[in-house]
Amino acid sequence: MAKPFSNQAVQQLLNPPETSRMALDQAARGQFPTSPKGAKFALQEARSYLNGWLREEFRPSSETTFVAFAREAGRFDVIRARYVAKKCEIEVAQTQHILVLRIRGLSSRTGSSVLQRIEEAAHKIFLKGDRIHPKTLGADAKYEYGEQQIAESGPVDPDWPHWIDSLHWFADQRELGFVLLKASGGPTRAVVSFADELNVKWFEP
């Protein structure tokens, strides 16, 4: 797969270690893990991005547990969550600058192509979803994948990173998902990037 899918950080968000899967299973049963030192602000931030970008009916409830993993698998500070909304299973994984959202069970029109499914999903799930115009980049053994077609409507912010401009997507017959940068346009102090080296550390010392 093309970048950013081939980046180690994105691959880890897409493919959680077994220990992380087990921790999410335990959280779903009400066995809440202890958060790593320094993760409090990041946990708040992880929830706020979803509340700011998703339509209300697809946001996590106040009861959804976000689980923090310091240097998950010895690599990146990661926060994960699972929840159900509108009868869809939604899984979220984030590093400091990257957010991955995967959805199972979202209905689409009969006979829709993969590209049509992605566009329908984006319009249903995201605020400003009408600004999302996906195009296909390719396919591998598992997924068809692509990115935002910026030429369709122009960049949301031509000078600074914006989550819509950075959006990439993937889909198979069972699920679909989005990979994007955690940026809302305008100046930022940090360099917001898919680069692995900029997504290692998120939690405070």
32-61, pLDDT tens digit by residue? 888 999 999 999 999 999 999 999 999 999
Q: Is residue 3 part of a domain?
A: no
Q: Is the pLDDT of residue 189 over 90?
A: no
Tell me the per-residue pLDDT of 107-118, one tens digit each, with 9 for 90 and over: 887 778 999 999
Q: Is residue 150 part of a domain?
A: yes
Report how many domains make up the chain: 1
Which conformational region is residue 76 in: left (phi greater than 0), alpha (psi within -120 to 50 degrees), or beta?
Answer: beta
Q: Is residue 103 part of a domain?
A: yes
- Boundaries of domain holding 135: 8-198
Q: Is residue 2 part of a domain?
A: no
Q: Hunting for tokens 């999410």 — which residue is that?
A: 24
Contact 119, 134 (CB under 8 A): yes
Q: Is residue 1 part of a domain?
A: no
> Mapping DSSP to helix (H, G, I), strand (E, B) and coil, where does residue 45 land?
helix
Radius of gyration (C-alpha) of the chain in whole angstroms: 16
Which pTM was predicted? 0.95
Q: Which tokens in the block code for residue 72? A: 């998950």
